[in-house]
Structure 1
């Protein structure tokens, strides 16, 4: 079995940030905040976070905060809860949460009467946003600022007969949405509402012959589901239902061992998104040399411990 090309991946992640004229950088310009989270968290898991200039990162993040309080994907773009979570997570990585004016953050105002959350002022509702709001406020120790009971009730209304969850009530079960719903329930102490055996079976059925995981039945495997599926299985204590060794091999087979980076499937083009989720998946699989990652917060365990136990 191949080994994780740590040095190559570090070099690739740093190059993505520095080369502003590359195709990948241009197409990701509007969601650079997410890219910063993916790349920096991957570096931290690889033990190489000290490769970046902390002050430059923090300065840029603060320039992305909108007057409404939320963060945008890049300077001059509109704010969205998706980017707000990435900003909070990156600040947590560097132990810089104290630079935030928590009262200014517009998260509680995005909760709707039914307990759901909108992503921004335009009102789109999605269980992704429920997870993001709960994760953000939990990291900031401010969960009491929202109606948690209603938030949980809405998430449960999105549960399907197959044990999975969709983006809204009646929406198709999808591994990404399942992570968001299970993660939100985990962070609010509400996992007892999940049928762990039924959901665990649906999730373990996502593993295909190559060892990779897909997001829905009859779809191709994708490295990113090494995170979405695996983290959910860990949170409901059913991760032993998949073949971990085959999944490790699948992720490692998706590496570009010459230039660094990880792709969705073997021999495809690499990107920072799949590089992060590949490394994060290997971390969940206890791959040697990687820092441990928390399956609910999607942050290194030592960062989560620092947030909640440093004082």
Structure 2
């Protein structure tokens, strides 16, 4: 990239705005299973770039409602697909960002809460849907969605916290299930789940130190962060690692200058967007987590983002803290 590094805000906004106009592209139809998540990623990036009005609010809400799976009582990634916890959280986050949760109505809200709670297993873990895949991602998505809806209960929270603690590893990281390899994304989902449950105090000071060291060691000489040892840096870990460090109060354990430079080098200065690594193709996933990482570092007056919910702090400030009073 030629010239001094800077964030191409307007180009990123135009890039995100253009994503839903590419219906003639084959890859557009290959990614139906990510459409609702993609709208959440795009909207969140626009919010951080202080341009939430770029998306047509009513059209977005209409699409979210079109993804309602009447069989399950939750949200699918695209009309006629099956509901899943991941896309259900994206739907809830989008509606909350637009202050439009009331549009669900009481009947749909009851079914939605039942779907989320119904995917919790006896050991406190959550499956993503009826097909039974278990992952700490789903603990986080379930607790996050219930928290936004104001529907967390001890019956859900307490066993979920116990399961998360079983996923803590000797090296200071967290796995997707007990005894699984430590991964930075799982560190976020586990720490985020504990933070939402107001249970970070179950971790000792020694454990918090170990977690902090494992996370800060994800920074490589070129400035970027990886998800686990011996892997290449990837812009998305600018979110997973930084948010985790922010949650435990150790955000300054990362070299901001080097990470900022790495993220900015991953921009496409012609069409906008951010890629996983310099010179690679951009996508909305890495764009949102690139700008979200920059926001956490206080770069360029970006809109502050909540490290627990990955939503604007102006939105999450309205959420009631668990346990509810």
TM-score range, shorter chain: over 0.9
Return the alpha-carbon distance in structure 2 between the equivalents of residues 43 and 222 of structure 1: 21
1:70: how far off?
Answer: 1.3
The gaps in structure 2 that reach 5 residues or longer are none
**Counterpart in the other structure of 1:94:** 98
Q: Is the 1:230–1:284 Cα contact (8 Å) retained in structure 2?
A: yes
Partner of 1:202: 214
* 1:85 pairs with one of 70, 79, 89: 89
1:282 equivalenced with 2:294 (yes/no): yes
Please say if 1:157 is aligned against 2:166: yes
Deviation readout 1:238-284 (Å, 9 max, x if unpaired): 11111011111110010001110000000100001001110111111
Deviation at 1:216, TM superposition (A): 0.3
Query: What is the correspondence of 1:93-242 to structure 2 with a 5 Å cutoff?
Result: 93-100=97-104, 101-105=108-112, 106-144=115-153, 146-194=155-203, 195-242=207-254
Deviation at 1:307, TM superposition (A): 3.6
TM-score (norm 1): 0.97
> Cα distance, 1:163 vs. partner?
1.6
CA distance in 2, matches of 1:245, 1:27: 37
- Unaligned residue ranges in structure 1 (runs of 5+): none
> Which residue number corresponds to residue 6 of structure 1?
9
**TM value normalised by structure 2:** 0.93
How much has 1:50 moved relative to structure 2? 0.7
| Number of residue pairs the alignment of both structures matches | 309
Q: Separation in 1 of the partners of 2:281 and 2:26?
A: 12
RMSD: 1.3
